[in-house]
Every structure is written in C-alpha cells, then in structure tokens.
Amino acid sequence: MSNNDLNAINEIKTLSLDMIKEAKSGSPGNCLSLAPIIYTLYAKHMNINPDNQEWINRDRLVLSCGHAAPILYATLHMCGFKITKENLKEYKSISGFTPAYPELSTNGIDISIGTPGMGISNAVGIALGERYLENTLKQEDEKQSLINFNTYVICNDADLMKGVSYEATSFASAQKLDKLIILCDRTNIISDGKVDNTFTENLIERFQSLDFFVKEVKDASKIKEIDKAINAAKKSNKPSIIIFNTILGKDSINENTNIVYDKPLSDDDIFAIKKKLNITTAPFEVRKDSLIHVRKLIDKRVEAQYKKNMEYLNKAKSSGNDKLINILRLLINKDLTIPFESLSYKINDTYNENLLLTNHKILNLVANKSAFFLGGCADAASNTKAYIDNTTILTKEHPLGRNINFGLREEAMAGIINGISLLGLKTYCSTKLINLDNLKPSIRMSAIMNLDVTYIFTHDSINSSLDSAHLTPVEHISNLRSIPNLINFRPSDITEILGVWEYIAKNKKTTSIILSDCQVSKLRETNSKLVSKGAYIVKKEQDKLDGIIIATGKELGDALKIAYELKQENIDIRVISMVSLELFLKEEKNYQEEIIPKNVKTIVIEPSSILGWGIFVTDKKYIIGLDDFSFSGQKDEVINKVNFDYESLKIKVAKLILNN
C-alpha cells in the first residue's frame, strides 16, 4: 500500500469520526472497518465521474448498511463529488446535504436507503434493469457502448440475516446477474453483540450453494487483497459476493465490541485514533495531496471510457434512429410518459367481466405502447392476471422478456422493482392484498423516492374468492392510504380502470390499484376522465339532496342501485365514486365542497376498515365498513354474515338517511 493510499484511507476514517462527533450520534464501527474497502472500490474500480453525477454508464453503489453513511459521504468528498466540508459538518442536520441514511438528494448517491437487507434487493433490481436496457440498446446497435455497468452493494452481517436478502440473492442467482457484486463487511458483531448465538451459518457455503462467485478476504486492511478480489468478481460470469473479514471499530479502545456499533466514540478515543493514524489536521480538514491523489486515480482510469461514452451519446442523438433516440431520452430524463387515452376505447354497454381480467386487458393496452414498461408477480400471475401478453419471461437467456417471475418472494419483489424503476423504467408488481405487509417497507421507499412503480393488489375483500378469515385483508386498504405520497385507486368498473391506467401512463408517481376478484358490469354513469380528480358525481340528486353515498370499487354499483331504488320511495341521493382518496384531497377546496357539500348526511360504503373515512361523516355509524376480521366460508355466505349483501346495504342506507 502506498503512502498516498494509506493517507487517503486514514483521512476518510477520521472525516467520518468528525461527522459523528459533530452530530453527537452515529455508527463509527462500520465506518472504521469499511474504510479500506470503500476507498479501494471508488479509487480503483468504480467507473464514476464526479463532474457528471448523472453519467448514464456510471457504476452504481447501494450502501445497504445505511448507518455507515458517514464513510460514504467522506469518500465522495475525497473523490471530488459536490459534498463540501460544510456538508459533512451538517451530517444528520435537517437542513443538511448529508442525512443520517443516504438519500437521492445527495450528490453521488444512487438510491435512498431503507431498512437492513432492502438495499440488496434494490441492487438486484438495478442489475436486472441494466441488463434489460443494455440489450434494448443492442437491438438498435449491436456495438452500443452506452450501457454496460456494474452494480455494487455494500452490506454487513445484519443485512444478510434479513429474509429479504435471502429472497433477493436467490432470485439474483436464478437470473445469473453477473454484474452484481456484493461486498460484505463481516465483523461478526451487531447492535446487541456478537452474532454467534443468532447467526451461525457459513456464508461461503450459503453463497456457493446459490452458485455465486464467492471470494473471502481474510485481512480487509490490505488494499492489494481487496483490489484482487474485486477484479476477480468483475471477471466472473456469476453474481458475486466478497466476504471481507474486518474488525468493527478498528483502532478504537472498544474495537471488536458492540459499543462501537451505533454509539459515538469518546473524545479521548478519537484523539488516540487520530494520533495512531498520524492525522494532525483540524477536524473536517484533509491534505490537499490526498484529494489530488484520489481524483487522479479516478480520472486516469475512467477518462477514456467516459470520453467514448459521450462521443457515442452525441452521435446517437443525431443518428436519426427514432427508437435509439427514445431510449436515450428515457435514460437521460428518467421520466417515461406513455401516450394512452382512455376515451380511445369504446366499451359495449353490456360489458360484464371479472375485474382482474379487465385490468389484464388494459394493462396490456398500455404495455403495447412502450417497451419500457415491465413487471411481474410473486408466484401469483395466474391469480392476479397481472402479466403482459406476447412476451417471454425475463431471464438471462431472454433478457428482453417483460414478465418477471419473482417466485414466492413478495418482499424482494418490491425492492427489486424499485431498483429497476431507478433507471427510468415504468414498472409494476402484483400480489394478493393480504401480502401487503411483505411489500410495505419497499412501498414506503418507493413513495419517498417518487418512483414510477405501480402495485397491483387483488382479492381485496369479501367480494373475492377468499375462503378463510386470515386471507381477508380488511385492514390493508386503510394501511395503503396511510402511506404519504402514494396514490391509491379502487376502481369500480372497466371505465374507471381505463382512467386509472391513463393516470399511471401519463404521470411519474408511485401508485397502487386495488381490485376485487369478482364479476362487474360496465356502469353507464362512470367517467374515465374524472378519475384523475379522485372523486366525482356518478348520480346527481334530481329534486332535493337528502343524502350522499360515497362508494369505491364493486360497491359503487350497489350504491347506484340503492340510490335509484330509494328514489322510487322519494329519497333523493347523490352518489360519489371515490376512486382515489388521495387525488380527491389534492383538489381545490371548492371542488371538494362542490362534490361533497357540508352539512349533508353522508354515508360511506367500502368493505374494509373504517379508518380514514371520518373526514366525510359526522359519526362513524355512517361508515358501512368492516371493522373486524371476516369469517371462513364460501363467498356468498361470508357476505351475508357480515351484512354486506345488497338487501342489507339498502336497509342500512335507508335507515341512516331517514333517521334524523
């Protein structure tokens, strides 16, 4: 190891300690153990350009062990990214550029980091998306040099304990993602202490059984060994993992203990470490020679490839090849708009079909308009019907397949889809709504990053063929509505499903579609163009406004029938389709009050938890929902048991309207 390399590593270590000390909180242990690894990766391997963070063909890094963020920020600072000394001082500050966990808002960061293990699934998605885009470009130009990058993910023991890491690495193996390289900081210590009592598996054997390329580095303080291992992984034709045996909190008086896992070091300890590392500069200061050394290493290694990429990009932009130019536009802008007009499709008034089959057909109408729309299911395509026709399953042998078979891996599926979406592709994934909890951590991150992902949830309530109480997700619709920046839709018929997909096609938003597995007729009153407003009037009162029914999904048809029949009894009711609560609440107040006037008796009908509907009613008795677990039995029996059959609903509505 040269003196320049050693000095740079030591300064990266102490910069991270300065950040943690300034913030009075943080995780110094992994920062000290990871420093030689992350330095070697950036200085000697990663294809990056600090002057162009958005370089399309840059290598991607996911820091799955996000609490080690200070070491990443310090490294990016040393590499010349736009992270200043002042930014480092603002670590964990609400106004800072260096949050507690890496986020996309920071220069040089490729993804906002979620819970432990999730980063591995994100990295798998990025690697899968890279392969798809590389082969898409090759269709237009076999010699393309624009997309060909590696995806690295840094993790630790805690990440590899999580179930999502098992799911994701198993999927990566099946997909043979040879440009995925996992770097494991193996300290054998987590927050509660040594892992021996909780994590005894042999990682080498685990990943060999997955047919990964596996390399162990017994002393991860030697950058020659680190360099050699990464080079070997890059040459492998398999997904790779390098297991680095490190010392948590190396050089601290409490090294190799959980004391340094997530607690700041004492001033005396920091002073002693800096003295041992021969760091004499003031806090947050680094030697100019170190900055020059790191940047020269990167520039010398990357300059030729970057220049070649830019030349190819400029040539391709003026090639006159519309398909190639569209691909470039997607890669550069990462904002895919699909030209889909709901009114272009004429629907027969007698149309009657299962909502899942209807959604399948319309999903395919959208998919036919763009090759950059793809997705898959967690062993549920035959149930959810969410798949694209006339294409293959996406595999190593068929890299342009647009249906992804995730197997029974809902948690990894959601993380992988997020990774694919980060590259600018429009994606979806699907499963039964009862599995929501497995996806929720990644849905939150998708919403935080505003990714172009659609979650298709089916078998949403008692209207579906769910023969067991534990399969009925009565609480999950309200759970979805509680997630900020997530737009949820529960469409009632084919017209509204068309409107939902028009919104998805034209907007870059994180969305979910919630569907019942049941037969539904086309409703003559629904309007696809008004779906984007979230709620609209489907039946207006004729003479006087006695009350309002708000309904979603299949129950909108019941609400309309009730309103028409009660009109014969001189009860005049307005019916509102609340296809998306979130979009309606984004509308101007005057529109909201025009649709749902104040001081009018309002009833809500939806077979799910009543949580969230209180904003429209004066008393929860006006919410006809399900606030308890359902029952095991045949669908019609269950519907009657919980009083959600048509006659019971009609009686309830009439009593509520007439009861003063």
Using the predicted structure, report yes or no on whether residue 100 has a pLDDT greater than 80: yes
CB-based contacts of 518: which residues, under 8 Å, 6+ apart? 354, 355, 463, 464, 554
Provide CB contacts within 8 A for 419, sequence distance 6+: 62, 111, 121, 122, 123, 124, 125, 126, 127, 128, 129
How far apart CA 121 and CA 108 sit, in angstroms, is 20
Residue 622 corresponds to which tokens in the numbers above? 């006006």
Q: Say whether pLDDT at 466 is over 70.
A: no
Task: State how far the Cα of 81 lies from the Cα of 300, in Å rounded to an integer.
Answer: 16
Residue-wise pLDDT for 253-297, tens only, equals 999 999 999 899 999 999 999 999 999 999 999 999 999 999 999
Is the sign of the CA dihedral 262, 268, 271, 276 positive or negative? negative
pLDDT band at 3 (very low <50, low <70, confident <90, very high): confident
Place of tokens 């680095």: 244
Distance CA 153, CA 321 (A): 35
| CA separation for the pair 284, 465 (Å, rounded) | 62
For the segment 395-431, what is each residue's pLDDT rounded down to a tens digit?
999 999 999 999 999 999 999 999 999 999 999 999 9
Q: What is the pLDDT of residue 330?
A: 83
pLDDT digits (tens, 9 = 90+) for 46-76: 999 999 999 999 999 999 999 999 999 999 9
pLDDT (tens digit, 9 = 90+) per residue, 145-201? 889 999 999 999 999 999 999 999 999 999 999 999 999 999 999 988 899 889 999
- Answer whether 3-302 and 528-658 agree in fold: yes
pLDDT digits (tens, 9 = 90+) for 287-301: 999 999 999 999 999
The yes-or-no verdict on residue 111 having pLDDT over 90 is yes
What local confidence, expressed as pLDDT, does residue 333 receive?
82
Residues 6+ apart with CB under 8 A from 632: 467, 468, 469, 638
What element of type H or E holds 489?
strand 487-489
Q: Please, are residues 248 and 257 in contact by the beta-carbon 8 Å criterion?
A: yes
Residue 182 phi, psi (nearest 5): -95, 130
User: How far is it, in rounded angstroms, from Cα 295 to Cα 277?
Assistant: 22
User: What CATH number belongs to 528-658?
Assistant: 3.40.50.920
Examine the pLDDT at 465 and tell me if it is beyond 70: no
Q: Span 558-582, mean pLDDT? A: 96
The CA distance from 390 to 403, in Å, is: 10
Dihedral sign (CA 177, 182, 188, 192): negative
% of the chain beyond a pLDDT of 90: 86
Tokens of 212: 């990964």
pLDDT value of position 575: 98
Least confident of 48-57, 93-102, 112-121, 329-338: 329-338
Q: How far apart are CA 21 and CA 265, in angstroms?
A: 7
**What is the pLDDT at residue 114?**
94
The tens digit of pLDDT for each residue in 351-365 reads: 999 999 999 999 999
Q: Is the per-residue pLDDT at 520 higher than 70?
A: yes
Indicate if the pLDDT at residue 493 is higher than 80: yes
Question: How far, in Å, CA of 387 to CA of 357, rounded?
Answer: 10
- Domain-by-domain residue ranges, the chain? 3-302, 342-521, 528-658
What was the pLDDT predicted at 320? 81
Q: Which of 368, 387, 342, 334 is nearest to 503 (CA)?
A: 342
Residue 1 pLDDT > 80, yes or no? no
Residue 143 has pLDDT above 90, yes or no: no
Residue with tokens 């291992």: 229
Q: What is the mean pLDDT of residues 248-257?
A: 93
CATH number of 3-302: 3.40.50.970
Asked if 523 contacts 493 with a C-beta cutoff of 8 angstroms, the reply is yes
When pLDDT is cut at 50, 70 and 90, the band that residue 660 belongs to is low
The pLDDT tens digits of the residues spanning 624-649 come to 999 888 777 777 788 888 888 999 99
**Residues of the chain above pLDDT 70, percent:** 99
Pick the CATH number of 342-521 from 3.40.1010.10, 3.30.1300.10, 3.30.70.20, 3.40.50.970: 3.40.50.970
**Does 115 have pLDDT greater than 70?**
yes
34 contacts 246 by C-beta, under 8 angstroms: yes
pLDDT of residue 474: 86
**Residue 262's Cα: distance from chain center in Å?**
26
- DSSP 3-state helix, strand, coil percentages of the chain (rounded to 5)? 45, 15, 40
Q: CB–CB of 414/406 below 8 Å?
A: no
393 DSSP assignment: B
Q: How far apart are CA 128 and CA 151, in angstroms?
A: 10
Q: Is the pLDDT of residue 467 over 70?
A: no
pLDDT confidence of residue 257? 92
Q: What's residue 127's pLDDT?
A: 98
| Strands 602-605 and 240-245, bridge-based pairing | unpaired
Q: Considering Cα of 300, then 302, then 305, then 308, what sign does the dihedral take?
A: negative
The CA distance from 333 to 426, in Å, is 13
Q: Mean of the pLDDT values across residues 581-595?
A: 97
Could you give the C-alpha distances from 81 to 7, 50, 51, in angstroms and in order? 19, 5, 7
pLDDT of 272 reads 95
What residues are labeled active site? 410
pLDDT tens digits for range 292-338: 999 999 999 999 999 999 998 888 888 888 888 888 888 888 878 99
Q: What is the mean pLDDT of the chain?
A: 94
CA distance 442 to 320: 39
Alpha helices, DSSP H, located in 243-348: 267-276, 288-317, 322-333
